[in-house]
C-alpha cells in the first residue's frame, strides 16, 4: 500500500461542489465512504480551458496513456520527482488536478519491530473541513475505444503531525493556490516546489483507529472512532 493508501469521502457531492466553488458538476453522486481505496472512483476537480472549475469522478490509480496494462497503476506521485518520472512529467503541463477528501489513513509500525502489526491512524483537518490534495490525471484508451480516466495523489515530506506515523503525506493545497495549480500550462519548477510542501503544523489532527479499516470490505463512521492509543509527540 502506498502513502495515503486509503481516504474518506463523507460529504454529499453537491455540498462538496459548493465548498470547492465549482462552476460545473460533471461527476455522478459517489457513495459516502469512510474507506475509499485505490481502483475506486473519487471526486476530482479540474479546470476548463477558460479556467473554470469542474468536478468530475475518476478512478484512483493513475494509468499512463502509453501503458500496455491498465492494471498497472500509480496511487501516488512524489512531488520531488514529478518532472523526472515518465509517468508524470508530461502531465505537469496540462493535467494537474485536485482531489478533495474528508481525511486519510496511514499505518504505523514501531521502529525495529518488523513483525509487529501495523497500526492505522486517521488524519483530518483540525476544523473538520475537507482537504484539497494536489493530483495528476491521465486518459488511457484501450481496444474498441475503451477509455479510462485515472488520477494519482501527489505526496510530499511529512509535517510534525504526520512524521511520528510516516515520513510522507499528501500535498495539501490551500484555497488561494487552487487555480494556479489547476491552470492548464507550465508551472515553473521553483513555484511548484513552493506549492507542494508539507502542510502547516496545526492543520491536521490525528488519532489511532481500530484495525477494521484494514479491510476494504468494511465501511462506516465507526472506522474513524479513536481507540485512545497514541504514538509520538
Cβ neighbour number for residue 152 with a 10 Å cutoff: 28
Asked if residue 230 is part of any domain, the answer here is no
Structural domain contains residue 1:
no
* Position 141 in a domain: yes
Examine residue 166 and state whether it is found in any structural domain, yes or no: yes
Q: What is the DSSP letter of 227?
A: -
**Residue 53 placed within a domain:** yes
pLDDT in tens, 14-56: 999 999 999 999 999 999 999 999 999 999 999 998 999 999 9
Note the pLDDT tens digit of each residue in 110-131.
877 777 789 999 999 999 999 9
Residue 210, SS3 per DSSP: coil
The more confidently predicted of residues 5 and 149 is: 149
User: Considering its fold, how many domains does the chain have in total?
Assistant: 1
Q: What are the catalytic residues?
A: 4, 106
For the stretch 69-109, pLDDT in tens is 888 899 999 999 999 999 999 999 889 999 999 999 999 98
Indicate which CATH number applies to the domain containing 122: 3.90.1680.10
What is the pLDDT, as a whole number, of residue 148?
95
DSSP per position, 42-74 = EEEEEE-TT--EEEEEEEESB--TT-S-TT--B
pLDDT of residue 232: 59
Structural domain contains residue 63:
yes
* Residue whose C-alpha cell reads 479540474 in the numeric block: 46
Domain containing 178 equals 6-224
Amino acid at each position: 500500500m502506498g502513502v495515503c493508501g486509503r481516504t474518506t469521502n463523507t460529504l454529499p457531492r453537491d455540498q462538496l461542489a459548493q465548498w470547492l466553488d465549482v462552476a460545473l458538476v460533471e461527476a455522478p453522486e459517489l457513495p459516502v465512504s469512510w474507506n475509499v481505496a485505490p481502483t475506486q472512483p473519487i471526486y476530482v476537480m479540474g479546470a476548463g480551458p477558460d479556467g473554470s472549475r469542474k468536478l468530475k469522478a475518476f478512478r484512483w490509480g493513475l494509468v499512463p496513456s502509453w501503458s500496455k496494462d491498465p492494471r498497472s497503476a500509480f496511487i501516488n506521485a512524489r512531488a520531488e520527482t514529478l518532472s523526472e518520472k515518465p509517468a508524470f512529467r508530461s502531465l505537469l503541463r496540462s493535467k494537474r488536478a485536485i482531489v478533495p477528501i474528508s481525511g486519510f489513513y496511514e499505518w504505523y509500525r514501531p521502529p525495529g519491530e518488523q513483525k509487529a502489526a501495523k497500526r492505522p491512524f486517521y488524519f483530518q483537518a483540525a476544523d473538520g473541513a475537507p482537504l484539497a490534495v494536489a493530483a495528476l490525471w491521465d486518459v488511457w484508451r484501450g481496444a474498441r475505444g475503451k477509455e479510462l480516466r485515472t488520477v494519482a495523489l501527489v505526496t510530499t515530506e511529512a509535517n510534525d503531525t504526520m512524521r511520528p506515523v510516516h515520513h510522507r503525506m499528501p500535498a495539501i493545497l490551500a484555497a488561494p493556490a487552487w487555480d494556479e495549480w489547476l491552470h492548464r500550462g507550465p508551472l515553473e519548477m521553483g513555484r511548484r516546489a513552493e506549492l507542494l510542501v508539507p502542510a502547516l503544523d496545526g492543520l491536521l489532527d490525528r488519532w489511532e483507529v481500530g484495525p477494521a479499516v484494514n479491510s476494504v470490505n468494511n465501511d462506516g463512521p465507526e472506522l474513524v472512532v479513536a481507540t485512545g492509543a497514541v504514538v509520538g509527540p
